[in-house]
Every structure is written in structure tokens, then in C-alpha cells.
Structure 1
Amino acid sequence: MNCRVAFAVFALAALSVYSQPLTADDLPEQPNFIVVFCDNLGYGDIQPFGSTLHRTPHLNRMATQGRKFTHFCVTAGVCTPSRASLITGCYSQRVGMHQNPRDGHVLRPISPYGLSPDEITIAESLKAQGYATAIIGKWHLGDQTEFLPTRQGFDYFFGVPYSDDMTQAVGRRLGDRLDGNDWPPLPLMENEVVVEAPCDRNGLTKRYTEQAMRWIDEHRDEPFFLYFPQAMPGSTRAPFSSDAFRGKSENGPWGDSIEELDWSIGQLMEQLMKLGLASKTLVIWTSDNGAPINRDLNDLSRGSNRPLHGRGYTTSEGAFRVPTLMWQPGHVRAGTVCDELVTTMDLLPTLTKLAGGEVPDDRTIDGHDIAPLIYSRPDATSPYEAFYYYHRDQLQAVRSGPWKLFLPIDTSGGHPHLAKSDPPQTLLFHLYDDVSCQRNVAVRHPDVVQRLMQIADQAREDLGDQGRPGKGQRAIGKIEGQPQPQAMAR
């Protein structure tokens, strides 16, 4: 029997053994955690969520052997604020990472701003419980030394400090704006040292995967947390991939990059099985926000958010709801689906509790412990009474249960349903009955509108709104002195 056949037989046997959920008492003490966070990958870009264009056999297996989350949300339609929420368990507005005077809504190279060292990160929370911690991939929460992952609870960092499209060539096109003339060649870093510049973007997915597997093997005998924010599909019009995948999909560079991402998670799953770590490791696979998509909705060369409405970078469902799979054979019930609202903010409290720790009580953490939903506990429901959709500092929509209300706001700053010239309107959608958000039912449900308007007032009081600071907001980090580019040592 060859290795591939042997592994397939083993995987099928594991699936049959692990098809029933275990009780809370059966969960392993201090499980390992791997969080894969793709970049700009859309809801409809993989087969478990409906894609008929991209081949994702390993993600299909992950869904068959694990649990699919259809209402898993991020907190922003763009990179920096979305990542800040995963790392801190908070809305980006709470930790000051939603915008700043120099960069706007995403951090750029050589910015004086970054995630405040005063915040408690998911890595710091797990490190306090004795976990080895690593990030392999894209950081994008500050490129100055004070803000790097190694100063935020991660033992090890291998990756790029910001987006893969923030290259020296792009900086030169910007000129003086955002200090573009000073942007360095795109740096690949190991811990706090640039090891390659410009880095080979075609090789990032492969190199990240190989480095992740080496790190897992090195820490196989201790509890570990691997944060694996992949660079792809990314923000460029033509994503990157290695020779083995370039030109092989039916959807050009976008499809090539996704099929390599599928290969990557397959490599990790197979490694965990071979090392005997699969049942002790909770693997979470998701995206930082929805795909940018093309104006022609039939052209999927920049991704698909089908059947959801809207594009990434907005407050649409297509931007905030992302494809999410969770896998831990023997504990996450095989072949199941969770339709309850959960978010990236829930990862810090959930993983901390599973590791045996306590969630920080000296500050507001917006996320919740969602272990009951991950492990299919009877009668488990969403912990969210309300969820907020911000575009930078503007509160645009709120959700409660199945209802999503777009507030009657000035649309000049960008609105997923209305043009800049449209007058303010109140829009109400039922997210289960109307998955594509096509039917505004605000007139038929004035009681729901009134209740969600009151929830919006609570959000403004706590997290602010345009021109109105919130009482619960904390400060972004900012260095003293002149920021320096991350460049190769001369």
C-alpha cells in the first residue's frame, strides 16, 4: 500500500471514529491552536462554501471532518482593523486601530503608529499559560520595532510586517504622500531582522507552509499556538503562487493562489495526523475580510463573495462574513454546520479558556467564549445581543439576531447599498431569509428598526461615531521620534 492510499485509509478511519462529539470533560488539557487567516479571500471562493471554480479538496476534507461556520464575522472590511480584533478580542475602534491621522484605515510602511503594547494580545494570554507562540505570515499591526510580534507575545515571527502590495515601487508612485519615497523593498523578516528584500512573493505560501511545519515539529511536545496569516490572495490584481500552482487553475492568478492555500492546509493537517497531534489541535481556517470582487459580478478573477451581497472593504455581508472551518478530530463534530453569529473577537477569550486561563478583567474585551458552539453543545446559541459594522469611525450598521439595520447616514464616505448621491435611508435585512440582502423590509418592521436604533445609540456611546469619541475607547500605540524603515542591514 503506497503512502497516499495508506493516509487516505487512515483519514477515513479517523473520520468514522471521530464522528461523535465528546463531552467537555473529554477535551484534551491545553490543546494546541492553529489559526489560519487568509488575506482578502471571499465567502464563495472555496468549495465548502459553494465555489465551483476553485479546486479545494483539502478544505473539503476539513469541512467533512470538522465544522463549518456560515455566520462567522470579522469586524472590518480591511486588513489592519480586522487583524487588530483577532489579536486583541476587541473592536478595532476600542483599541484605536480603526484609523489614524497618518495612514487612514490601514497601516502603511514606516508609520509611527501600531498596536499599543499596553493591549493584551491572544499570544500574551496563551504565553501566560505556558504556550509556545509563533506568527508565520502577515502582521500589519505596526512595522516599528516596538510594535512587532516579538514585542506582542510571540516567541517567533517569520513573515512580512505589512501587506504584500506595499512595495518600494508602489511607494515611489505615491511620492511624498505617506512618505512613499522612503518605502523600502518589501521585507521578509525573521523575528526582528530583515532576511530578504525584496522578498519573492511567488514563494510566500510555500515558504510559510514549510516554516510552519518546521515550527510545529520543533514544538510538538509542548502546547503551542500558531497564528498563520497567509499573504494570499492578497491585495494585488494578480495574486502570487509558486511554480507548482501558477497557471494551473481555471481562474487565473486568483484561483492559482487559492488552490495553493488549499495545498497548504492539507500539508498541516497531514502533519498533525502523522505526529499524533490532530485530536489535540484545534485548527481554525478563515479570512481577514471578503474579496474585492470585480464590477462585473460574473467575472470572478478578483474573488467571489457569493451568495452574499457586496465587496470587501465595505460594511456589506460580503466584506464582514468570511468562510470559516474548524477541525479537531474527535472533538469538533464531523460534518456539522453552525449558523450562529460568532466573530474573530471570540478567539482570544475562547482559546484562553480552553488553555486553562482567564480572560483579562481589567479592561473591556468584546469577544466571548464560543467553545459551546465549536463543540456542538446542546442548545448553544450566539453570545451576541448586538454586533456593530463600522467603516473607519462611522457606525453604518448594527445586527441583532437575524436582523441587520443600515442606519440613515451620510453615504459620501462609502456605502455598500447606496450611491454617494443617494439621500440617507434606513435599510433592514433579514440575513437568513434574504441571504443576498435584496429586500429592504424596514417599513414592515418598525419595532425591529426602533430596537436596533437604540442599540446603535449604545454603540456610539461606547465606541464613538464620526466626530464623537466613545467612552470605552483606548489609545493606539505611537512611537516617539522618527520611524525607520525595515530594511536589510548594510
Structure 2
Amino acid sequence: MFRLEWTRTWLAVILGVALGWEAAAGSDVSGSRPNILLMLADDLGIGDVGCYGNRTIRTPNIDQLATDGVRLTQHLAAASMCTPSRAAFLTGRYPVRSGMVSSSGYRVLQWAAVSGGLPTNETTFAKILQEQGYATGLIGKWHLGLNCERAEDHCHHPLLHGFDHFFGMPLSMMGDCAPGGLSEKSARLQRRLESAAHVAALVALTLAAGAATHLLPRGAWAPAAGATLVAALLAAASHFLGALIVHADCFLMRGHDITQQPMRLALTMPLMLQDAVAFLRRHKEGPFLLVMSFLHVHTPLVTTGKFLGRSRHGLYGDNVEEMDWMVGQILDTLDAEGLTRSTLVYFASDHGGALEARMGSEQHGGWNGIYRGSKGMGGWEGGIRVPGIVRWPGVLPAGRVVHEPTSLMDVFPTVVELAGGQVPQDRVIDGRTLLPLLLGTASHSDHEFLLHYCESSLHAARWHQRQTGALWKVHYATPALRADSDACYGRLVCPCSGDGVLRHDPPLLFDLSRDPSEAHALTPDTEPLFHQVTERVARAVERHRRSLRPVPLQLDAWGNTWRPWLQPCCGRFPFCACDREGGGQ
């Protein structure tokens, strides 16, 4: 009798759990106000992660996140570069709508001391959740601007865009932050300064020779001396440029205060992990929003000693494995504080891996799996298709895989809906809530079309033809690549326009459902639906263009040129140096 009752009891429990799970999976969770932890890697390739097919880099914590949650296989960045992609992530809007693009070759914000940045009239999901009573924090990379007119007006600062707490890097990790690292900025500028110094020196010699031989009046000695001084200053600037960049751009802030300038790179990861754990513990009563914006795995691939040499892929693989360990430490903190079941966790990358990041023969960028192209390459899949994982135990079905098109822009309406807020009605929001796909209550994505910009130029568009299941991709422009590799000629990052770009008329057409690697372009001869598809996509593009409104382009030269009066400085400019982080202990 006892055994029978025990069996009945457990059957009831199991049935109750099953029914409860089914109800949770199909129920409306809008306004349920979970804690929200969003983790965004920097330059991570979709092929670098185990649950997306990698078998040689160890990512057990990210893989377990996918096992326990929902994995998105067609998750897309709104741009293949940092600044515009992150602007779209925070606002739910194509970056061209907010002006977080350029028409002049500037792909990202170039310096900390520029006036461009995320406009104050843009609404981030952090701002809406802050209004809904969430404690909001951003730790790590920002790269969306700081100041407008003076060095401390903080008009683009994270604290003005809805975050209560900020600790991190206002610009971006760059190869230039580490002496002898892969230069993204100083090498090019040094060449320009050296050329200008040579010109000034030639002018000085010409004037001095003319004055000495009486071919020019004796008054030519004064401009000759001036040209000599200019040449000397330019040569000195070229020599010290690397150190100047490290101080100008590679620093840490807490709130509005600079606390380490320049950064002590070996301590940066421990400091940020320490701050993330402290934030979670401080706000464990909830609700909270934490955006953990990793500096990993962007060059210069700063990696602590215990991870060096552990992977089979050199420094890059070491850096990926360290980031995975950091993910594990943050998830362990949720467990330790009893927050796991009340927290929605999201993991993604801001765009694809950088195939062109190399130091000699060693690859310092990621792997994008079967997908063509990489970071900076307009609309090719390798630059925009990224990992996307969402976990919420007890609500989202574990192990679910979604093959529908989704976007980083979808995070905006998703978290706003969960927090009980309202998506703004005074502007176009391009993101669509992920909840029906995550819960399994919808079979198809709300994205019939998704557009792929390169700066302000539309390079490609995709059409998800739901009736047939076909996924069409149309390319209007692609970067001109070298014949011997997937790299652009003489560039670290491909251009969006000009001589380095191929224009396609008629456009290139691919069926990603049959050819996800974009290896075989279709033609009217090989695809009977060629004209029907390209015309359908063209109408959608035209409809999108009619929805755009003129806005100032924040990344153009006017807003993206270094200005000394905007330089954030810990101390008296130009002697900017301090360390208030206490050695990371």
C-alpha cells in the first residue's frame, strides 16, 4: 500500500511538473520582470564556439548555456563593425536611422575625443528598463561616444543612456593598446606624419638653400626655420604616436570618472569580472539589467597567464577560452546567489570574427565556420551571422534550436516587453520580440526581410519566403577580395564604397537554405525565380528607404576627428595619467 501511494505521489509530481512546463512554455510572460543578463562578445566568430560546430576550442560554459536554453542558428548583427552594431543592439533600430554610420570611410568611432556618438534623442532598452525600476549596469566596452562640446559634458555617456552603473572602456580595445601589437591606427597615422615631416623638411631645405645662394631674399630664412620646426614636431609626433594613443584611448572609467589611464592590460579582465560579480550580488533582490560587454576577443588579445598556451589555436584560442571561463564565473555567481531561475541570460557577439587580423603567420582573428567573409565585409554572412543563445530555466525549453532569422535588434523589444515597458511609438523600431520563437508559440520569425548595411550604403538584403521555406539573399555590392584569400587589398578592414567595392547589376542572388556558404551565385539561367525574387526584394528595399529620415551622420569626418579639447584626461592635459583601481585587488 505504501509503495502504491508513493508511486501515485511521484506520478502526480511528474505530471504536475510536465503540465506546469507546458503551461510555462506556452504562457504569456510579458511583464514578468525577470532579471536580465546580456553578455556580448567582441569580434567572436560563430565558428569559434563548440555548440556551433567548433571541435578544437574549448567553450564548455557557453555550450552548457545552449544545452540549458535556446540556440539561434540564424542570429544576425545589424552591421559587421562594432559601433553601428552596438547602436542597433541598444536601440532596436538600423544604425542608419540614428546616424551611427558614415558616408566617408569611417566605420567606427575612431577616438575617445570625438564629438560623434549615440544621439541623446535615441532611446535604449536600458533607459526604458531604468524607468521600469530596474537597476541597470554596463561593464566593459561602450564605443558609442562620450562628449559633444567639452571634455566633461558626457552627452553620449552610458549614464545618459539609461545605465545607473558603468565600469569599462569608453572606446574599444585596439591592437594599439598593447606595445608591439597589431596596429589598427598608429601605423597608418605614422606613415602620414612621416610623409608630412619629409615634405616640411624639403620645404625648409629649399628655402634655406635659396636664401644661402641669394636665389631667394634673405627673408626666406624665417620661413625656412618655421618649416624646420614643423618638420621636427611632425617627426616627434610620429615617434611618440603609439604612446600618445595608449594614453588618449586606452583607459578605464567608473561612472564619469577616469580611474586608470592608461589601462593596465593585465588587470583589466580581473577588474571587470570582479565588478560584474559585485553588481550581481549588490542587486540580487532585483530586478536588474546587466550588460556584460566583453573586451574579449578583440585584438590585442590580452590573456591572463593561466590561459596562455592552453588552446590549439595560439593566442586567439587562449583568449576565447578565457572568455568562456569568465562566462562560467558569472553564471556561477547567479547560481550562488539563487538567481538562476529568475534571470534571463543572453549571449551573442557584436559581429563576426576578423579574418584579416594577423600577426605574421599567426591568426589573431576568429573563424566564421562555413560562412563567407568576416568582420567589416558588408553583407557577407561571415561578418554578420553570430552566436545567439538565450536561457531562462523553467520558462524557455532547454535544448530548443531556432532556425528562423533573428537579429541583435530583437533584444530591444524582447527585454522591454518582459520588463512591462512600452516600445516607443514615435519612431520606427526594426527589432521584433523573440519571445514567441523562444517559447515555441510561433513557427516563423516576424522578420520577412532583413537589410545589411555597410556604413550608409545598403550592400545586401535577405527575404525569408515563409510559404516555401526558401531564404533568399541579394547582394547589391561586395568588397573586392584578393584572389588568394578572403582579404581586401592592402586593408585591415574592407571599404564600403569606392574602388574597393564591386557593384552588381543585376545583383548577386543566393538561396541560403541550399547554399549557406554563399558559394554559388544564381543567375536567370540557373534559377527560374531569379527576377521574381530580386524584384520582390527591391520593392521591400524601396519601402524601407521611404521610412528613413535625414539625420546627422555621427561617424562622418566632422564628428569623428580627434579634438584636443574633448580629450578625457585624468590629470592636466596632455599629461593624462592615473591609477585609482588599487591594482585590481
Distance, in Å, in 2 between the alignment partners of 1:100 and 1:439 is 30
Partner of 2:569: 487
Post-superposition offset of 1:462: 3.3
Rg comparison, structure with higher value: 2
Secondary structure (helix, strand or coil) at the match of 2:46 reads: coil
User: In the alignment, does 2:210 pair up with 1:128?
Assistant: no
Structure 1, unaligned runs of 5 or more: 1-15, 464-470
Partner of 1:244: 306
User: In the alignment, does 2:372 pair up with 1:287?
Assistant: no
Partner of 2:370: 307
Partner of 2:520: 439
Distance, in Å, in 1 between the alignment partners of 2:113 and 2:495 is 27
Distance, in Å, in 2 between the alignment partners of 1:435 and 1:452 is 18
Q: Deviations over 1:132-180 (max 9, x none)?
A: 0010000000032211101111101100011111549766542597999
Distance, in Å, in 2 between the alignment partners of 1:431 and 1:421 is 21
Distance, in Å, in 2 between the alignment partners of 1:50 and 1:434 is 17
Superposition pairs of residues 190-269 of structure 1, within 5 angstroms:
190-236=254-300, 239-269=301-331
Secondary structure (helix, strand or coil) at the match of 2:166 reads: strand
Distance, in Å, in 2 between the alignment partners of 1:225 and 1:156 is 10
8 Å contact kept, 1:409–1:424: no
8 Å contact kept, 2:459–2:476: yes
Post-superposition offset of 1:411: 6.2
Q: Which residue among 42, 46, 50 is the counterpart of 1:39?
A: 42
User: Which range moved further: 174-183 or 330-339?
Assistant: 174-183
Post-superposition offset of 1:299: 7.6
Q: Which residue among 49, 55, 58 is the counterpart of 1:55?
A: 58
Distance, in Å, in 2 between the alignment partners of 1:26 and 1:367 is 18
User: What RMSD in Å do the two structures reach over aligned CA positions?
Assistant: 3.2
User: In the alignment, does 2:224 pair up with 1:155?
Assistant: no
8 Å contact kept, 1:27–1:331: no
Distance, in Å, in 2 between the alignment partners of 1:125 and 1:76 is 24
Superposition pairs of residues 412-431 of structure 1, within 5 angstroms:
414=495, 420=501, 424-431=505-512
Partner of 2:79: 76
Superposition pairs of residues 1-400 of structure 1, within 5 angstroms:
22-25=25-28, 29-99=32-102, 103-144=106-147, 145-165=154-174, 167=177, 173=187, 174=189, 183=245, 185=247, 186-236=250-300, 239-294=301-356, 301-314=364-377, 315-377=379-441, 379-400=442-463
Post-superposition offset of 1:200: 2.5
Distance, in Å, in 2 between the alignment partners of 1:172 and 1:414 is 19
Distance, in Å, in 2 between the alignment partners of 1:340 and 1:407 is 23
Q: Deviations over 1:172-191 (max 9, x none)?
A: 54259799956451111111
Post-superposition offset of 1:276: 1.6
Tell me the TM-score normalised to structure 2 length: 0.73
- Report how many aligned residue pairs link the two structures: 464
Distance, in Å, in 2 between the alignment partners of 1:255 and 1:100 is 35
Secondary structure (helix, strand or coil) at the match of 1:323 reads: strand
Distance, in Å, in 1 between the alignment partners of 2:251 and 2:357 is 32
Post-superposition offset of 1:105: 3.8
Post-superposition offset of 1:458: 2.5
**Matched AA of 1:438:** A
**Matched AA of 1:282:** L
8 Å contact kept, 1:187–1:486: no
Post-superposition offset of 1:107: 3.8
Secondary structure (helix, strand or coil) at the match of 2:78 reads: coil
**Matched AA of 2:570:** M
Secondary structure (helix, strand or coil) at the match of 1:222 reads: coil
8 Å contact kept, 1:159–1:188: yes
Secondary structure (helix, strand or coil) at the match of 2:274 reads: helix
Post-superposition offset of 1:272: 1.1
1:327/1:348 CA distance change after superposition, 3 Å: same
Post-superposition offset of 1:222: 2.0
**Matched AA of 2:290:** L
**Matched AA of 1:206:** P
Distance, in Å, in 2 between the alignment partners of 1:302 and 1:104 is 18
**Matched AA of 1:23:** G
Among all aligned residue pairs of Structure 1 and Structure 2, give the percentage whose two residues are the same amino acid. Answer: 30
1:221/1:164 CA distance change after superposition, 3 Å: same
Q: Which residue among 444, 449, 461 is the counterpart of 2:534?
A: 449
1:112/1:326 CA distance change after superposition, 3 Å: same
Distance, in Å, in 1 between the alignment partners of 2:157 and 2:448 is 34
**Matched AA of 2:117:** G
Q: Deviations over 1:377-408 (max 9, x none)?
A: 2x332111211111111111111101111126
1:429/1:419 CA distance change after superposition, 3 Å: farther
Post-superposition offset of 1:442: 3.7
Q: Deviations over 1:419-444 (max 9, x none)?
A: 75786552111112111111212421
Distance, in Å, in 2 between the alignment partners of 1:410 and 1:205 is 35
Which structure: greater helix fraction?
A: 2
1:408/1:42 CA distance change after superposition, 3 Å: closer
